Structure 1
Amino acid sequence: METLKVLALCGSLRQESLNRKLMQQAIALAPRELTIEEGKIGALPLYSQDIQQMGFPEPVELLHRQLMASDALLLISPEYNYSIPGVLKNAIDWLSRYSPHGFNNKPVALMGASPGRMGTCRCQYHLRQVMVFLNAWVLNRPEVMLSEAHLAFDEQDALRENRLQELVASQLAALRQMIHD
């Protein structure tokens, strides 16, 4: 059975963030056919065409190589001010400047965790819009929008409820199937 590579980008840089915990759970719950690797976005400079014209910075080059080598993308993100956190949008903007860029025809799954009740739905909607422009294919269902996430993790940062573990696992299984289709 072939191993499929998934690049995960977390929209929160904080080490103890709810979304980083969710990403770690996704890695732990992934089907054996999926290998999920985190792409580091914290060292990317703010996008500027002036910087790009001098050459893509090494952290951007590394992320681009990871994206090009991946079979799918997993975006795990909080919602900032009803939208995409700047650090994640900045990474997407840098990666979209390559020709070809690695988003084209790439399957994408979205996850998000929030202490609020909306569970990152507006951020995920905006990410869907961005991915349409980049010609990526966003998985429709199941959706992972973890609300009241500050209550969802135990002391070992694992999801407390089986239904949430099953939701994350089923989304990753659907992503695996989307890659094969």
Structure 2
Amino acid sequence: MTTLLGLSGSLRAQSSNRKLINAAAQIFAPDRYIAGNLRLPLYDGDIETAQGIPAEVQTLADHIRVADAVIISTPEYNKALSGVLKNALDWVSRTDGNPWQDKPVAIMSAAAGRSGGERAQFSLRLAMVAFRPQLLHGPEMMLADSNNQFDAEGHLVNDRARKTLTALMADLRALTTP
């Protein structure tokens, strides 16, 4: 039984990154899919000291730990990954153990601009290095002009992007197969 966790760096329900994760999950076809919740309090060492790890952070860490693979999609905000995603990474880094250790992870991005979130992916890769996951290096899935790449039902309509996404999910699936 394969469990796939999806983490969207955008909180909007209709975000292009959430739609891209949904398309990836359909292609990957896991037995179980979990949409990770990144609606977390801002990391604050005083909160951690006074109250410990918030329950929703521990739940996210537990979801990472039990997942066979993780897909992360981030928008590009001011030439970097989203603050929501960075905050989640910061909080999870404070939990016991390292749920990311050796975890197969595929990174994607969807952005309104012409680079499709290339700089966001670069900054996300840098942020992930310390956790030592099995980051896939390619194919790089960067969806430019993302607001125009999905139909009214949220399906990816760009054939070239679908081919890249299919190849990325095949590589991720290969890392989860014994």
Query: What's the TM-score bracket when you normalise by the shorter of the two chains?
Result: over 0.9
Residue of structure 2 in register with 1:60 after alignment: 57
Q: Secondary structure of the equivalent of 1:37?
A: strand
- Partner residue in 2 for 1:141: 138
| AA partner of residue 14 (structure 2) | E
Deviates more, 1:47-56 or 1:115-124: 47-56
1:7 corresponding residue in structure 2: 5
| CA distance, structure 2, for counterparts of residue 94 and residue 68 of structure 1 | 14
How many residue pairs match? The answer is: 177
Query: Offset of 1:33 from its aligned partner?
Result: 4.7
TM-score norm. by structure 1 comes to 0.91
- Structure 1 stretches of at least 4 aligned residues deviating more than 6 Å after TM superposition: none
8 Å CA contact 1:29–1:165 kept in 2: the answer is no
Distance 2:25 2:103 in 1: 19
Q: Does 1:49 align with 2:74?
A: no
**Contact 2:105/2:134 (8 A) holds in 1:** yes
Q: CA deviation at 1:34?
A: 5.6
Match of 1:173 in 2: 170
1:108 maps to 2:108: no
Q: What does residue range 92-103 of structure 1 map to in structure 2 within 5 Å?
A: 92-103=89-100
Aligned sequence identity (%): 37
Measure, in 1, the Cα distance between the counterparts of 2:73 and 2:121: 9
TM-score, normalised with respect to structure 2: 0.92
Shift of residue 57 of structure 1?
1.0
User: Could you list the runs of 5+ residues in structure 2 that have no partner in the other structure?
Assistant: none
Specify every segment of 5 or more residues in structure 1 that has no aligned partner in the other structure, as ranges. Answer: none
The residue that corresponds to 1:128 in the other structure is: 125
Q: Distance in 1 between matches of 2:130 and 2:61?
A: 18
